[in-house]
Structure 1
Amino acid sequence: MTHEAGWAHAPGALRGPSWLREPADPNDLVPLLWSSTAHKSDGDLVVGGVAMRDLVANHQSPAYVLDEADFRARAAAFRDAFSDYDVFYAGKAFLCTEVVRWIAQEGLWLDVCSDGELSVALRADFDTARIGYHGNNKTESELRRAVEAGVGRVVLDSFVEIERLAAITAELGVTQSVMVRVTAGVEAHTHEYIATAHEDQKFGFSITSGDAFDAVRRVLAAPGLEMLGLHSHIGSQIFDSAGFEVAARRVLALHARVSDELAVAMPEMDLGGGFGIAYTTQDDPSDPAQLATEMTKIVEHECRALGVAEPHLSIEPGRAIVGPAMCTVYTIGTVKPVALDGGVVRTYVSVDGGMSDNIRTALYDADYSCTLAARRSDAAPVLARVVGKHCEAGDIVVRDEFLPGDVAPDDLLAVPGTGAYCRSLASNYNHALRPPVIAVRDGVARVVVRRETEDDLLATDVGAK
């Protein structure tokens, strides 16, 4: 039986959750969890040819460390595996001007979902014809700016948006290409908050209720809107293609119905993203080539069964590109062994960041791994919980991990897999300053997003002097 306070309080508690294995050497890296250039050199973690010891000496901690070569390689892997698709990088995972430039250079398209993300794309001179604009509550001003900027497609999410966009295109005398986002009624095997295709949630038009068909009909009736096709996204951090198969079957059935009843052959379809990555050893993600093979077969099979031509497909990987390409490096402040029931001892390791730079553990109950980053230890491993410095009991960075038993204040600690949504969801909780993003490649470290300062923090406080 599981204790309400966690596994460690239950009778006969194990030394960690069932998937966590005590390592033979807690200094070793698990390659699956790290960017491709990450390795240990005499205990020093090196990423992109830069030792974390040197990076922190020059840029302080905490800091997000972005492996440029790894990011580009993952982007290229999706581009090449899905060569017959349009591959949109999902900017919500992590976006900055330099990353937009990398995306352009690697031949990807870009998905944005806010005025701010569009601003970053425009600042980087990204080709707006290769931008898709998402969002469940796009305002009139946001839609107007998107149209005036020349975005390639707007993904419509409500009847109100159809009316707003139709009025804007009529006023401006232009035609805007659009897709209709649909919910396929698929229960993705992921956290409730990142499962986005079941019926009871805010995104898209329901296929089951008939709203999706009605939305397509209204778009086709609007002179200034060009209907590209349907858009489906079933969630995030998904490893099983079964969900995509069910969704594709239902979305393609609607695609065929539009063709039959409205005599319109929609040329495109977007299957979304949500491809999972490995945060811990319990995760087993698919590589892009495997995903491409499986998803293409699914669409080909369903189109044959329905007797319709295959639409031009697009996907939207974000996490799968940037997630593993970034780690976060911290400095340890305190180490506190805490005795629990049954003789179990958990070591609390407090770092100089926390939920302000990685909210996912608290928000999604996400699991992470970590390693000492600036020395080798011969001490036996101990079960540790890495926590932040914020005034919240739920301020947890890594819930369970084995670290060397001599872990101590001033040690550096690095957490892999922090590229997706960590900087994007970062906050100023407790008036913390958000960390910088340091791109590393070939032994060179350069700041692509600078660390916030107290001046930044006070700039919007109208009472400050």
Structure 2
Amino acid sequence: MRAHEAGALHGDLGSRGPAWLRTPDDVNHLVPQLWPRNVARDATGTLAVGGLTAGALAEEFGTPAYVLDEGDLRSRCRDFRAAFPDQDVYYAGKAFLCRAVVRVIAEEGLHLDVCTGGELRTALAAGMPAERIGFHGNNKSVAELTQAVDAGVGRIIVDSFDEIDRLTGIARERGVRPKVLVRVTVGVEAHTHEFIATAHEDQKFGFSLAGGAAAEAAFRIIDEDVLDLRGLHSHIGSQIFDASGFEVSARRVLGLQAQIRDARGVELPELDLGGGFGIAYTTQDDPATPQDLSKRLNKIVDSECAALSLAVPHLSVEPGRAIIGPAVFTLYEVGTVKDVDGIRTYVSVDGGMSDNIRTALYDASYSATIASRSSDATPILARVVGKHCESGDIVVKDEFLPADVQPGDLLAVPGTGAYCRSMASNYNHVPRPPVVAVRDGKARVIVRRETEDDLLALDVG
């Protein structure tokens, strides 16, 4: 059986064929690339992670819940550290951040990028060494920049001339010399959703390379000699599978490094190529391995530096969702099952767009499987939807589930570690789910479930 014909069957419906091609084994089977590494079905057909069944987790912690396979998270950190042994690997705080995760990535030797004062405070509260933090953002306030300078943040990625002026003023006032990178918009549009492609010219991030703003920013920092310009930063987007965009980006940003050397006699010692490496949400996705990515990125940097007579700079990468995304699945309980005129079966769960906005926001595709049992029933085409008062409240657009799916079943959606809890809302006054970490047969809450009392505590009227 080909990979795209195996269970947890997702992606474009036309590529999957009609339902009669599906068997019960298809919908019971777990495609390994979609799930955390310590997830499997036990002898009863129940989904289990780290030795704990979905039923046991639901009974103890309730649903919906984000379930983090801590062993998987640690192994992905180690995979990237092994693939980039002499470079800095930055975990994306915006994908998902809490103190427990910060401690894991710190223990595993990763760096951390943040983009707000709140993310920075969380990182510092968890004990992340400030020198291993990079601070992103297109509109950092004076308060946030001051917070970063006072904490001794390792790298501040400057994004505008206004920010250079603000940071220069803070540095002069405090008599310090913050280390900075200039974010360069290189004109490479990643093959991704428009809202997560970040290197074409018409967008809010960075200094334009083509228009000369990036060179001007670097020259200004060098000439004023207040900030410590360490290098350049480029980020072309998110959920990227094709490394060719990184190759073009590296050539262009290294060309700017050479221009700066020739104009100011300064050879910048660092280069951050960003990342945003893709993960598998469905069987149609085929992400590269960390080793493959390292090989390609290092090869192009080495060859381009040789052609430009540049010393190879110290390289940093930002894998983005590739570390945390696959390590989490969301566990729901089915509430209603509705057949709509034989067109489709709607399976409603006790969460929805408040805990995963990505389907509605990005037209993202996800997978799903019944987690509380296996089934011998014929597969049917279903749409997994949430409980919110919106017709666009869709969790999984198309999925084959067993025809006997019923209220009370547990349903698991993999690949929800990135941008689900971090973008969660209280729409319809629904409290946000907890994050439960599982490791070696033990589970603990690392972000507790919100309550309705929490919501009312902010309502001072």
Query: CA offsets, 1:350-407, max 9 Å, x none?
Result: 0000000000000000000000000111100000000000011110000010000010
Q: Does 1:99 align with 2:111?
A: no
Q: In structure 2, what is the equivalent of residue 376 of structure 1?
A: 374
- Residue in structure 2 matching 1:249, options 248, 251, 260: 251
Q: In structure 2, what is the equivalent of residue 19 of structure 1?
A: 15
Q: Counterpart of 2:310 in 1: which secondary structure?
A: coil
Q: Does 1:329 align with 2:331?
A: yes
- Alignment partners' CA distance in 1, 2:335 and 2:91: 37
Q: Which amino acid aligns with 1:31?
A: P
Q: Which amino acid aligns with 2:115?
A: C
- Residue in structure 2 matching 1:319, options 318, 321, 326: 321
- Residue in structure 1 matching 2:142, options 136, 140, 143: 140
Give the conservation status (yes or no) of the 8 Å contact 2:238–2:320: no
In structure 2, relative to structure 1, the CA distance for the partners of 1:163 and 1:16 (3 Å cut) is closer
Q: In structure 2, what is the equivalent of residue 435 of structure 1?
A: 433
- Alignment partners' CA distance in 2, 1:288 and 1:19: 28
Q: In structure 2, what is the equivalent of residue 451 of structure 1?
A: 449
- Alignment partners' CA distance in 1, 2:225 and 2:201: 30
Q: Does 1:33 align with 2:9?
A: no
Give the conservation status (yes or no) of the 8 Å contact 1:19–1:281: no
Q: In structure 2, what is the equivalent of residue 129 of structure 1?
A: 131
Give the deviation of 1:162 after TM superposition: 0.1
Give the deviation of 1:19 after TM superposition: 3.1
Tell me which moved more, 320-329 or 220-229. 220-229
Q: In structure 1, what is the equivalent of residue 116 of structure 2?
A: 114
Query: CA offsets, 1:23-80, max 9 Å, x none?
Result: 4321111111000000011221001211010000011100000000000000110011
Alignment of 1:42-441 (within 5 A): 42-339=44-341, 345-441=343-439
In structure 2, relative to structure 1, the CA distance for the partners of 1:138 and 1:335 (3 Å cut) is same
Give the deviation of 1:222 after TM superposition: 2.7
Q: Counterpart of 1:144 in 2: which secondary structure?
A: helix
Give structure 1 stretches of 5+ with no counterpart. 1-14
- Alignment partners' CA distance in 2, 1:247 and 1:458: 48
Give the conservation status (yes or no) of the 8 Å contact 1:20–1:401: no
- Alignment partners' CA distance in 2, 1:139 and 1:175: 18
Q: Which amino acid aligns with 2:110?
A: L
Q: Counterpart of 1:271 in 2: which secondary structure?
A: strand
Give the deviation of 1:263 after TM superposition: 0.7
- Alignment partners' CA distance in 2, 1:317 and 1:429: 30
Q: In structure 1, what is the equivalent of residue 4 of structure 2?
A: none
- Alignment partners' CA distance in 2, 1:48 and 1:91: 25
- Alignment partners' CA distance in 2, 1:20 and 1:130: 45
Give the deviation of 1:415 after TM superposition: 0.1
Q: Which amino acid aligns with 1:17?
A: L
Give the conservation status (yes or no) of the 8 Å contact 1:20–1:281: no
Give the deviation of 1:318 after TM superposition: 2.5
In structure 2, relative to structure 1, the CA distance for the partners of 1:321 and 1:257 (3 Å cut) is same
Q: Counterpart of 2:28 in 1: which secondary structure?
A: coil
Q: Counterpart of 2:329 in 1: which secondary structure?
A: strand
Give the deviation of 1:20 after TM superposition: 3.2
Q: Counterpart of 2:275 in 1: which secondary structure?
A: coil
Q: Which amino acid aligns with 2:97?
A: L
Give structure 2 stretches of 5+ with no counterpart. 1-10
- Alignment partners' CA distance in 2, 1:443 and 1:242: 42
Q: Counterpart of 2:388 in 1: which secondary structure?
A: coil
- Alignment partners' CA distance in 2, 1:223 and 1:261: 15
Q: Counterpart of 2:41 in 1: which secondary structure?
A: strand
Give the conservation status (yes or no) of the 8 Å contact 1:331–1:410: yes
Aligned length: 445
Give the deviation of 1:16 after TM superposition: 6.4
- Alignment partners' CA distance in 2, 1:297 and 1:126: 31
Give the conservation status (yes or no) of the 8 Å contact 1:370–1:401: yes
Q: Counterpart of 1:18 in 2: which secondary structure?
A: helix
Deviation above 4 Å: which 4+ runs of structure 1? none
Give the conservation status (yes or no) of the 8 Å contact 2:436–2:447: yes
In structure 2, relative to structure 1, the CA distance for the partners of 1:252 and 1:181 (3 Å cut) is same
TM-score (norm 1): 0.94
Give the conservation status (yes or no) of the 8 Å contact 1:269–1:312: yes
Q: Which amino acid aligns with 2:436?
A: I
In structure 2, relative to structure 1, the CA distance for the partners of 1:66 and 1:208 (3 Å cut) is same
RMSD: 1.1
- Alignment partners' CA distance in 2, 1:222 and 1:454: 53
Q: In structure 2, what is the equivalent of residue 12 of structure 1?
A: none
- Alignment partners' CA distance in 1, 2:238 and 2:148: 26
Give the deviation of 1:317 after TM superposition: 1.6
Query: CA offsets, 1:79-103, max 9 Å, x none?
Result: 1101111111111110100000001
Give the deviation of 1:17 after TM superposition: 1.6
- Alignment partners' CA distance in 1, 2:22 and 2:315: 43
- Alignment partners' CA distance in 2, 1:281 and 1:96: 29
TM-score (norm 2): 0.95
Identity %, equivalent residues: 64
Q: In structure 1, what is the equivalent of residue 7 of structure 2?
A: none
